[in-house]
Structure 1
């Protein structure tokens, strides 16, 4: 166990906080609080804060990427409940991929069954 670990484990967190405050010259004094409150009452400070806090929200509401509408349209097309499975909602190309996958699986299954049949009943020499 290191010396620092021992020291920190022997002191509780409140004592460590108080020790740090003393070392830095005290906490927040009334003088510091008054200085901060007098700054926040200045009109230019209030205007600057209002500008910085509200302009990004306004900009975010108006600056939308042009492709966003396209993406939203595609998302809405896929979210329509028309009884069609999700992997076929893309259109003709998705249907073509689905049918070709089914055909390839059928060919592979028939070749596997043929191989099993050939190995089960070997040809006589």
Structure 2
């Protein structure tokens, strides 16, 4: 019984302590890119994906604001019967 538990502990320790492939640390390159002063806003320094997310967010915000104004005008000026 104890032998099985020790074997399971050894396998679990080996599984979590070593990996089959080594991962490269990309943090220093990203820190360098995000900290350089090139006049670009920080929320767009991530590349094309950041630009697309920013534009989608701004588009949804503008459309939502326009819809709110439309509804307020519609409620403020009811149709005459």
Q: Rg bigger for which structure?
A: 1
Q: How many angstroms apart in 1 are the aligned matches of 2:27 and 2:75? A: 53
Higher relative contact order (CA 8 A, sep 6+): 2
Moved over 4 A (4+): none
Structure 1 portions without partners, runs of 5+: 1-64
In structure 2, the residue matched to 1:8 is: none
Are 2:52 and 1:96 equivalent residues in the alignment?
A: yes
Per-residue deviation at 1:67? 2.6
Between the two proteins, the alignment pairs up a number of residues equal to: 60
In structure 2, the residue matched to 1:67 is: 24
In structure 2, the residue matched to 1:82 is: 38
1:93-115 Cα distance to aligned partner (Å, 9 max, x none): 00000001010001000000000
In structure 2, the residue matched to 1:55 is: none
Q: How many angstroms apart in 2 are the aligned matches of 1:100 and 1:66? A: 32
Q: How many angstroms apart in 1 are the aligned matches of 2:56 and 2:23? A: 35
